[in-house]
Amino acid sequence: MDYFVHPRAICETTKVGASTRIWAFAHVLEGAVIGRDVNLCDHTFVENDVIIGDRVTVKCGVQLWDGLRVEDDVFIGPNVTFANDLFPRSGQPPQRFVETIIRRGASLGSNATILPGVTIGQNAMVGAGAVVTRSVPPNAIVVGNPARIGGYAEANASPARVAETQPTPPETASRVRGVSLRKLALHRDMRGSLVHGECPREVPFEPRRWFLVYDVPSSEVRGEHALRTCHLFLVCVRGSVSVVADDSEEREEFQLDDPTLGLHLPPMVWATQYKHSPDALLLVLASEHYDSQDYIRDYAAFLAEVRGSHS
């Protein structure tokens, strides 16, 4: 064999990749498929209908049940608990267990609980002890019971203003390709306040469409897509919302908490909005009329399309 099985482990499958290590008191059933360079630590159990990709680490005390799909480079911490039956009854298994998918590069912290049928997105991070009841977007960091998004991996928030005494420059470039934070003009007098911008100066395109997003529960996530040809310009005219922009190589988070701040998102940037305040009202200007074919709603497909265009 080109893989290692500890003398005190039971490995009934032969579908095991090279350089994989199965340690003491682990038990792997006959139907399981395990990739290359996997590390199954002590006291782990792998049922029949389980597929594990390459370079996966499964720490001690984890049971992987039928229906689980684990992609490459995933970390599963100690005592992570998976479930595969939404309505379990003794002696009454379902005809087919629902699939639970852990996408490439995700990490699950110790003692996290993953409910049946959810998908943990690519590079997502599940905090220790979190109870995941709903699918987790790519790159999201979730914590708590039930798990809620608390941030995004490698997306340190960019301050909207350096200090109250220092004015924001008219345009601040992001490290994300083509994205910029723009300062809109504010006029105040005894009659109230007015914010304005012109096209194509502050808004770098001629809008053909607009829409408003509001009444979003704080736990919900909006966006989660890229556009192939359409530019967007976002202004939170009331309350606050956080926006994460991702060009496949760089990721940055922006807090829109002032109606004088506009965020320009060019085509082929994956954008997500979250952390909506209860009173958040987000105005979105678009350079094109609505076209469902312009949207990329799968993060893996977005990565493949971006990298294909650069090859």
Q: Indicate which residues carry an active-site annotation.
A: 225
**Vertex 203 angle, CA 200 and 209, to 5°:** 100
Widest Cα–Cα separation across the chain: 82
Give CA–CA dist 214/94, Å, rounded.
40
Cis check: omega of the bond before 266, within 30 degrees of 0? no
For residue 171, list its beta bridge partners. 182
Query: What is the residue whose two structure tokens read 């493949």?
Result: 304
> Cα dist. 221→170, 235, 272 in Å?
29, 17, 7
Cβ atoms of 222 and 273 within 8 Å: the answer is yes
Round to whole Å and give the CA distance between 311 and 305.
10
Coil/strand/helix, residue 303: helix
